[in-house]
């Protein structure tokens, strides 16, 4: 009982800081997405393809959340965008105060789109608002088509679902229509994109949508 | 600071209950594995193949951990083994007291092998001892070959690594040797199996090893 109250206090404090982040980002007219998924669903690959596609068109900054390493920030930095690595040292999700610290290191006047890549985890990040405009959940075809039913909060709290690794569908028992239906059963207003970072399929549609969200 | 202490108390309490579970399981000469992985790496599929392979040779029982549904227990029950579903209601890992409750519902005199399938999560379950003999971590080739470096505690605390979905390697950028090396860099004593639940490759080697661990 006392533990539940502590958790609630943590969330309340987190939500207050998230709201401050949101105000700060809105003041700078920065559109912010919080990218979440299981480990290995392809968040960083989608991020790389997105940076490649938007290069020269938009000023993008990236905040990377990882349990331990800065491998992902290294991958992202190659695209010439400002990248801040947050290492959670075992923590299974990002929190708003960590994002606030990261924001302090960025020149927000030069950012139009901020992409926060959360820790790879389908459970923990779902309850933690970071101050983003919306959550984008990535589900890869190789994880099976039942994941929205098994991890509903993440799909319920997201606005966009990217179904990634569609190039592997011919080799899987996983069914794309079932995955879509399961996701829409949990959250009927999900905007869905289907992508492959190997073939490049669907990346343009996703980036066009993303570009249209920018506050110009 | 106080939060860290609370977490420590929770872990201490968990470890005490885990030790009770371990004593209980040892008294019944039950070999117990704690199966962990990312969502969708193939824990349940490996479990199904294992049950199929060991049918008639060993008395197996299963404890399923899920955030929300009993989909996995339904899949497992088809193999005619006792299956207990634990639903964590949002919790990102199993705890020893939940496993103890599950053990009370099983006839332990008729069990030789207990397989506990943890919640799909590469972070949270790593610190929670359930009373198992050993942890088996499943990493699928589709998650990329960098996961041991990004989520080291899980690979450090496991005794066995099952590299699953090896049938998909021809279609991936992921490298099997790199994945093996990264895992061994984190934990040089890992026993490694390579499997595909689609082709059945490697299942026999894994089951033969598992069978040899049984206390007869």
Q: What ipTM does the predicted assembly reach?
A: 0.85
Lowest model confidence (mean pLDDT) among A66-75, A163-172, B116-125? A66-75
- Please count the residue pairs, one from chain A and one from chain B, whose beta carbons lie less than 8 angstroms apart: 115
Count the alpha carbons within 13 Å of B124 in the hemisphere toward its beta carbon: 25
- Report residue A75 as tokens: 């991958």
**CA–CA min distance B24, chain A (Å):** 28
Q: How far apart are CA B194 and CA B200, in angstroms?
A: 10
* Residues of chain B contacting residue A146, judged by C-beta atoms under 8 Å apart: 71
Q: pLDDT averaged over chain B?
A: 93
**CA–CA min distance A186, chain B (Å):** 12
Rounded to the nearest angstrom, the gap between the alpha carbon of residue A115 and the centroid of all alpha carbons in its chain is 7
Give pLDDT, residue B142. Answer: 97
Among the listed residues B56, B54, B110, B101, the one whose alpha carbon sits nearest the alpha carbon of residue B82: B110
What DSSP element (H or E) covers A98? helix A96-104
Q: How far apart are CA B4 and CA A207, in angstroms?
A: 41
A150–chain B Cβ distance below 8 A for any pair: yes
A5–chain B Cβ distance below 8 A for any pair: no
Give pLDDT, residue A3. Answer: 44
pLDDT digits (tens, 9 = 90+) for A98-125: 999 999 999 999 999 999 999 999 999 9
CA angle B94-A64-B149, nearest 5°?
60
A124–chain B Cβ distance below 8 A for any pair: yes
Q: Give yes or no for residue A4 having a pLDDT over 80.
A: no
Rounded to the nearest angstrom, the gap between the alpha carbon of residue B70 and the centroid of all alpha carbons in its chain is 17
Residue with tokens 């890549």: A117
Give pLDDT, residue B8. Answer: 63
The answer to whether B168 contacts A171, with C-beta atoms less than 8 Å apart, is yes
Q: Given B71, B171, B198, which is nearest A146 (Cβ)? A: B71
* Residues of chain B contacting residue A120, judged by C-beta atoms under 8 Å apart: 38, 122, 150-151
Rounded to the nearest angstrom, the gap between the alpha carbon of residue A44 and the centroid of all alpha carbons in its chain is 9
- Report residue A141 as tokens: 């075809």
Q: Provide mean pLDDT across the span B187-195.
A: 98
Among the listed residues B92, B85, B83, B88, the one whose alpha carbon sits nearest the alpha carbon of residue B114: B83
Give pLDDT, residue B89. Answer: 85
The answer to whether A40 contacts B38, with C-beta atoms less than 8 Å apart, is yes
> Distances from the Cα of A118 to the Cαs of A31, A43, A67, B82, in angstroms?
16, 9, 10, 38
Give pLDDT, residue B106. Answer: 95
Give pLDDT, residue A8. Answer: 63
Split at pLDDT 50, 70, 90, the class of B39 is very high
Give pLDDT, residue B7. Answer: 57
Q: Give yes or no for residue A205 having a pLDDT over 70.
A: yes
- Best of B138, B150, B153 to substitute, by most chain A Cβ atoms within 10 angstroms, is B150
Give pLDDT, residue B181. Answer: 98
Q: Give yes or no for residue B3 having a pLDDT over 70.
A: no
> Distances from the Cα of B90 to the Cαs of A44, B68, B72, in angstroms?
26, 7, 16
Strand boundaries in A5-87, DSSP class E: 31-37, 60-66, 83-87
Say how many Å lie between the first and final Cα of chain B, rounded.
47
Rounded to two decimals, the pTM is 0.91
**pLDDT more than 70, % of chain B:** 96
Search chain B and give the residue with CA nearest A173: B198
Among the listed residues B11, B6, B87, the one whose alpha carbon sits nearest the alpha carbon of residue A4: B6
Q: Given B6, B69, B149, which is nearest A150 (Cβ)? A: B69
Give pLDDT, residue B2. Answer: 38
Count how many residues are written for chain B.
Answer: 216
B169–chain A Cβ distance below 8 A for any pair: no
Among the listed residues A201, A194, A190, the one whose alpha carbon sits nearest the alpha carbon of residue A141: A194
Q: Provide mean pLDDT across the span B153-162.
A: 97
**CA–CA min distance A201, chain B (Å):** 15
Is the Cβ–Cβ distance between A87 and A74 less than 8 Å?
no
Give pLDDT, residue A6. Answer: 54
Give pLDDT, residue B90. Answer: 85
Split at pLDDT 50, 70, 90, the class of A7 is low
How many separate helices (H) and strands (E) can be counted in chain B?
A: 8, 7
Q: Provide mean pLDDT across the span A31-58.
A: 97
Q: Given B10, B144, B150, which is nearest A69 (Cβ)? A: B150
Lowest model confidence (mean pLDDT) among A59-68, A152-161, B65-74, B106-115? B65-74
Other beta carbons less than 10 A from residue B100's beta carbon: 16
DSSP string, A111-129: -SEEEEE--S-SSGGGG--
Q: Provide mean pLDDT across the span B189-200.
A: 98
pLDDT digits (tens, 9 = 90+) for A78-88: 999 999 999 98
**pLDDT more than 70, % of chain A:** 96
Q: How far apart are CA A84 and CA A72, in angstroms?
A: 10
Q: How far apart are CA B130 and CA B153, in angstroms?
A: 16
Q: How far apart are CA A49 and CA B103, in angstroms?
A: 48
Is the Cβ–Cβ distance between B183 and B192 less than 8 Å?
yes
* Residues of chain B contacting residue A41, judged by C-beta atoms under 8 Å apart: 143
Q: Given A71, A91, A144, which is nearest B149 (Cβ)? A: A71
Q: How far apart are CA A40 and CA A34, in angstroms?
A: 16
Q: How far apart are CA B140 and CA B147, in angstroms?
A: 10
Q: How far apart are CA B176 and CA B121, in angstroms?
A: 22
Q: Given A39, A167, A173, which is nearest B147 (Cβ)? A: A39
Using alpha carbons only, how large is chain B's radius of gyration in Å?
Answer: 17
The answer to whether A168 contacts B10, with C-beta atoms less than 8 Å apart, is no
**pLDDT more than 90, % of chain B:** 87
Q: Which residues sit opposite B191 in a β-bridge?
A: B160
Give pLDDT, residue A2. Answer: 38
The answer to whether B142 contacts A40, with C-beta atoms less than 8 Å apart, is yes
Is the Cβ–Cβ distance between A85 and A72 less than 8 Å?
yes
**CA–CA min distance B152, chain A (Å):** 8
Q: Given A3, A66, A144, which is nearest B40 (Cβ)? A: A144
């Amino acid at each position: 009982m006392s533990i539940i109250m502590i958790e609630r206090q943590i969330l309340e404090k987190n939500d207050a800081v998230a709201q401050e982040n949101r105000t700060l980002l809105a003041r700078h007219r920065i559109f912010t997405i919080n990218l979440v998924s299981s480990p290995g669903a392809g968040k960083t690959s989608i991020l790389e393809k997105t940076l490649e596609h938007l290069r020269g068109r938009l000023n993008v900054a990236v905040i990377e959340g990882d349990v331990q390493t800065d491998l992902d920030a290294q991958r992202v930095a190659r695209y010439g965008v400002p990248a801040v690595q947050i290492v959670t040292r075992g923590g299974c999700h990002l929190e708003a105060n960590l994002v606030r610290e990261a924001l302090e290191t960025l020149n927000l006047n030069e950012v139009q789109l901020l992409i926060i890549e959360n820790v790879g985890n389908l459970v923990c990040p779902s309850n933690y608002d970071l101050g983003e405009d919306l959550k984008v959940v990535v589900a890869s075809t190789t994880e099976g088509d039942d994941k929205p039913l098994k991890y509903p909060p993440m799909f319920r709290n997201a606005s966009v679902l990217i179904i990634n690794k569609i190039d592997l569908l011919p080799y899987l028992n996983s069914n794309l229509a079932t995955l879509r239906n399961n996701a829409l059963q949990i959250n009927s207003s999900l905007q869905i994109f289907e992508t492959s970072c190997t073939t490049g399929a669907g990346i343009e549609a996703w980036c066009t949508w993303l570009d249209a969200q920018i506050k110009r």
